[in-house]
Structures are given as C-alpha cells and as structure tokens.
C-alpha cells in the first residue's frame, strides 16, 4: 500500500541496508505503520506496512 507521507515523517537509513552506499533502504515511523523507500529515489513513493507486516518481512529476510 502506498499512502501519502505524513509531514512529520523522519526518514533514516535502515540498519538492514547493505554496506554499499547505493543499496540503501530508508524507513520511517508512521505511528501504527512503517514506511519503506529507496534512498536513491525518495520522491518515487514508499511502501507502507503495518508494524506486524514489517516484522514479518524482516523475519523472512533474515532466513
């Protein structure tokens, strides 16, 4: 789901991003959701996940 970004969203580089500078994922705390976007294209939109879906995604990426 791609929803409008709240004006108070603060994006930060995810600790799960790769070590290469052009492979960065940024995340933002959107209250009950988590925003995920490509740092190379911040104006290109973002993916909005529930906190549970975000946790599930991280679990899948770890395995």
pLDDT band at residue 54 under the 50/70/90 scheme: very high
How far apart, in whole angstroms, are the C-alpha atoms of residue 5 and residue 10? 10
Q: Is the separation of the CB atoms in 33 and 18 below 8 Å?
A: no
Query: In angstroms, how far is CA 25 from the centroid of its own chain?
Result: 6
How far apart, in whole angstroms, are the C-alpha atoms of residue 41 and residue 31? 23
Per-residue pLDDT tens for 4-52?
A: 555 578 999 877 666 666 678 899 999 999 999 998 888 899 999 999 9
| H, E, C per residue of 2-22 | CCCCCCCCCEEECCCCCCCCC
What are the tokens at 28?
Answer: 């933002």
pLDDT band at residue 1 under the 50/70/90 scheme: low
Domain ranges of the chain: 11-62
């Amino acid at each position: 789901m791609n929803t409008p970004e709240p004006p108070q969203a603060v994006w930060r580089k995810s600790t799960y991003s790769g070590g290469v500078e052009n492979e960065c994922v940024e995340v933002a705390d959107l209250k009950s959701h988590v925003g995920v976007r490509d740092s190379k294209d911040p104006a290109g939109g973002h993916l909005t996940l529930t906190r549970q879906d975000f946790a599930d995604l991280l679990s899948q990426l770890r395995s």
